[in-house]
Structure 1
Amino acid sequence: MMDTGLGDINAQFKVYIANRPNFADFQDTQKVTPLGGGELDAIGKACGNGWRKVFNVYAKVLFALNCERLVSVHKAATWQEFRDKYLLQAASNTSLLFTRPELSNDDIHIVMGKTYAKSLGLSLEWINDDFAIAPKAKLIVCPYFDYRQLSNIKIVTLVELIRQQSGNHNKTTKHL
């Protein structure tokens, strides 16, 4: 099965979401489409605050992760600048996918939302009510990318789980 979504077609940092933006350019796409400058903002304006939150939280997670080996954030001074200039663009190593995770590689896989994760029928180890892992697959289930569901404190937990899954334990978390 081929991935469908937004971002870098060769991304190693993959986030999976159950829905897709109701945006004409992406409704029928059957591939991973890199975004250009300003397209995140256009999707947010056209599709609502929920999508702005998804993009904001995605950028905050990567900025806090601060792991150049996975995703380079050093060119951006803030998570907002990273979101606007690099997130989900070609060669960003980031993607937001609307398809079921393909777990046959060494990529990092983040599944947004417990309900979506359970619908996928994955074999998971639940760490607590919010987070689960499939260690052999480098897959993490976390709350939906929304400020209330994935607060800054939960972002720190997610960052630690990503580091454990990627074998990168000793990096410094950037402050949000």
Structure 2
Amino acid sequence: MSQSGQPNGEKRPTTVARKSDRELVVTRAFDSPASAVFEAWTRPELFRLWWAPKSMGATLSACEIDARTGGGYRITFGEGADSATFFGKYLEVTPPSRLVWTNEESADAPVTTVTFEDDGERTLLMMSELYPSADPVADAVAGMQAMSAEQFAQLDELLASRRPPA
């Protein structure tokens, strides 16, 4: 990791900032159109290729995504007693520009909003996590910086591998 919290050699910086005492915002640009980035967030076969940070040694043993307003998701890291499952429902799905979902695995879990701002062949992604109280936010900042930087670098690699040759 570099001092900025970015994996060494990462092409695009991932920034994490507190927007308020209850909200964190993660920002990252990708060299792919919004439709491709949105698809990587909503198709389980693509999502499972980039979501689990490789440095953690965890893999997604299950990944169910019903990306429609009112649909749900269920993601499981690991196997057996060492597994952790995250789940919730989609409050808003507006392809290819916006996703809003609940995180229902704990009472302190945030509501997540991801926007995909299309700029031709580039996308500015903003992910906001709004927590029910300020308590979990301070603990989330450092972990979010490290994890999201690695996840988004992996997403960048996936998107690059899916681009047509120049």
TM-score, structure 1 as length reference: 0.27
